[in-house]
Chain A
Amino acid sequence: MRAAAVRVRRALAMRSYDGLFRAAVWVLGVLLLVTLAGPFVGVGGQPDAIVGPRLMPPGAGWPLGTDNLGRSLLPRLLQGIGTTLLLSCLAVACTALISTALGVIAGYRGGRTAEVILRIGDVLYSFPAIVLAVLVAAVLGPGRTAALAAIVLVTVPLMTRMVGTAARAVARREFVTAARISGVRAPTIMLRHILPNVAGTVAVQGTYALSVGILVEGGLSFLGYGVQLPDASLGLLIQEGGLYMVGAPWLIVAPGVVLVAAIMAINLVGDSLRDRFEPRETRSLV
Chain B
Amino acid sequence: MDHIRWLLGRTAAALLTLLGVSVLIFAAVRAMPGSYTDLVLGPLATRSEKAAAAARFGLDRPVVEQYLYWLRNAVQGDFGTSLAARTPVATEFGDRLPVTVTLTALALALTVLIGIPLGVYTGTREGGGRGGAAGRLVSAFGMSLPEFVLGSLVVFLFTRYSLGLSVGTYVPWSQDPLGSVGSLFLPACVLAVFCVAATARTTRDAVLGVLVEPHIAAAVARGEPKGAIVRHHVLRNAAVPVLTLVATLTAYLLGGTVIIERLFNVPGLGSYLVDGLDRRDYAVVQAGVLLAAAVFITMNLLVDLVSGLVDPRIGTVGKRADA
A residues apposed to B, CB below 8 Å: 18-20, 119-120, 122-124, 126-131, 134-135, 138-139, 141, 211, 215, 218-219, 222-223, 235, 238-239, 241-242, 245-246, 249, 252, 256, 259-260, 263-264, 267-268, 271, 280-286
Q: How far is the CB of A40 from chain B (nearest CB, A)?
A: 29
| Chain B interface, DSSP helix/strand/loop, else mixed | helix
Residues of A within 8 A of B274 (CB): 134, 223
**B133 and A264 within 8 A (CB):** no
Which residues of the partner chain A approach B85 to less than 8 Å between Cβ atoms? none
Q: Chain B interface (Cβ within 8 Å of chain A)?
A: 13, 16-18, 20-21, 24-25, 28, 31-33, 124, 126, 133, 136-137, 140-141, 143-149, 152-153, 155-156, 159-160, 208-209, 211-212, 216-217, 220, 226, 229-230, 234, 251-252, 255-256, 258-259, 262, 273-274, 277, 285, 288-289, 292-293, 296-297
CB of B145 within 8 A of CB of A260, answer yes
> Within the complex, what minimum Cβ distance (angstroms) separates B87 from chain A?
22
Which residues on the B side are within 8 Å of A222 (C-beta)?
148, 259
Verify B289–A282 contact, CB threshold 8 A: no
Contact A138 B146 (CB under 8 A): no
Q: Which residues of A contact B145 (CB under 8 A)?
A: 260
Q: With A and B bound together, what is the CA distance between A235 and B208 in angstroms?
A: 36
Q: What residues on A are CB-neighbors of B296 within 8 Å?
A: 126-128
A263 touches B156 (CB 8 A): no
A24 (CB) vs chain B CBs: closest residue: B140
How long is the Cα–Cα vector from A47 to B126 in the complex, in angstroms?
A: 48
Taking CB atoms, residues of chain B closer than 8 Å to A249 are 156
Q: Which residue of the partner chain A has the closest CB to B143?
A: A267
B289-A127 in contact (CB<8A): yes
**Contact status A245-B277, CB under 8 Å:** no
Enumerate chain B residues within 8 angstroms of A241, measured Cβ to Cβ: 152
Write out the residue numbers on chain B whose beta carbons fall within 8 Å of the beta carbon of A239: 148
Q: What is the predominant secondary structure among interface residues of chain A facing chain B?
A: helix
Q: A131-B273, A138-B32, A267-B144 are in contact. Are A20 and B136 (CB under 8 A)?
A: yes
CB distance B28 to A139 under 8 Å? yes
Q: Are B292 and A128 in contact (CB under 8 A)?
A: yes
A130 near B17 with CB under 8 A, answer no
Which residues on the A side are within 8 Å of B258 (C-beta)? 128, 130-131, 134, 223
Cβ of B148 and Cβ of A138 under 8 Å apart?
no
Q: Could you list 9 examples of A-B contacts with CB < 8 Å?
A: A20-B133, A126-B297, A130-B256, A223-B274, A238-B152, A259-B149, A268-B136, A282-B212, A285-B217
Given A120-B20, A267-B140, A286-B229, A252-B156 contact (CB < 8 Å) = yes
Q: B147 to chain A: which residues have CB within 8 Å? A: 219
**Complex Cα distance A216/B229, Å?**
42
Q: How far is the CB of A97 from chain B (nearest CB, A)?
A: 22
B13–A242 CB distance below 8 A = no
